[in-house]
Amino acid sequence: MPLTTYWLEHAWLGTYAEPGVALDVSADGRIAAVRTGVDAPPPGATVLRGFTIPGLANAHSHAFHRALRGTVQVGSGTFWTWREVMYGVAQRLTPDSYFALARAVYTEMALAGITAVGEFHYLHHAPGGTPYADPNAMGEALIAAAQEAGIRITLLDTAYLSAGFGAAPEHHQLRFSDGTAEKWAERVSALKDRDGVRIGAAIHSVRAVPADQLATVARWAEERGAPLHVHLSEQTAENEACHAAHGTTPTRLLADHGVLGPRTTGVHNTHMTDDDIALVGSTSTGTCMCPTTERDLADGIGPAVALQKAGSPLSLGSDSHAVIDLLEEARAMELNERLRSHIRGHWTAAALLRAASADGHAALGRPDAGALEAGALADFTTIALDSVRTAGPVPRLAPETAVFAATAADVRHVVVGGRAIVRDGVHVSVPDAAGALTDAIAALRS
């Protein structure tokens, strides 16, 4: 079987920066061999100068929120006032316009070194709730957009049935709802895994899926071995409403209905009791932190250290796309904790890179991604070590440089399945990513 060889000037093999690494990639898009101590590029090898790490995993995305960037920074407000602006954008999207927007957003992700995205998708039907001729037209638009941008996608098809603890959906939420969890399951069952695509499930939140229907969504995911995600305790108001409706916390409610477990990821997990943290950890339920969105929406700082110590694997997401930069998400998780605790160094750079790569891929149902090792998917990202942000430190400190100094602007090359999708900071198939974003977002205003 023919091999493609990449020569990496410096590479992260899990602990520190290793100089002179050759990766042999097989025709099936997997790493066939990793050779260290290769001081010069082998004949015919593709040279990647800088610091190469496994491809980053954006474990939580709402692609259409990218259209809100800048707009929602005017004035003041809360998560709930931000949500009203978001609903306005959601009402204007069609399968065609969503494809155009998502293709541009996923291109921006690729340029940021992201090789896989978990799309938390609840925009299912036409305005008013009428299904499209293809009931999964919006989901298929997202899949097609990721494929054109060259990144992998886990479509976390989301059950969103209620305006809050059993209340009927409000007008702007009608296009999110399938009516019941059973009808949700019937629709989503028509979506199929394919090359570069995984179909997963999501519960929007305990307020949006009635308690007696949570188990239906969890069972659908369990029967398929699919990842299951849920917004969890993002807002104190959600916790208070859950107490009023059920006399317990959202975490306990999910546990009582069989939602928690090692294939489940709670997104945010911000406002948790000690018992909640212990319950998440003891069930090996994951936690996806989205620090740039959590700070943008004034949500609060989640107890990531305590959750990880309790047994919850950490992943990262850009969520509302206030920025798309997984290095910033990793940095922010550590720096937020420093501000709260007045102590530095809660995670090593290596641990933060694992959250941004291997643990994120695992949360998206891809345990075979996120490592530069034989048998893994050949998905990797090269970060420049000679930009104005990264120049200066010795190469052995490349992990620290990447996490605490680099930004998405320092991503130089991105490879997915052994195929280059970003070369020298330019997307191979969408060279004018900024123009694509401008056009797609402007179309939603007209």
- How big, in percent rounded to 5, are the helix, strand and coil portions of the chain? 40, 25, 40
**How far apart are alpha carbons 114 and 104 in whole angstroms?**
13
If you write DSSP's letter for every residue of 120-165 in order, what string do you get? Answer: EE---S-TTSPPPSSTTHHHHHHHHHHHHHT-EEEEEEEE---SBT
**How far apart are alpha carbons 361 and 114 in whole angstroms?**
11
Question: Token digits for 285?
Answer: 């339920």
Supply the angle between the helices 181-188 and 211-224 in degrees, to the nearest 10: 20
Per-residue H/E/C for 288-345: EECHHHHHHCCCCCCCHHHHHHHCCCEEECCECCCCCCHHHHHHHHHHHHHHHHCCCC
- State the catalytic residues: 268, 319
What is the bridge-based pairing of β-strands 419-423 and 197-203?
A: unpaired
Q: Is 423 exposed, middle or buried (0-12, 13-18, 19+ CB in 10 A)?
A: middle
Question: Token digits for 217?
Answer: 């969504």
Question: Token digits for 11?
Answer: 């590479």
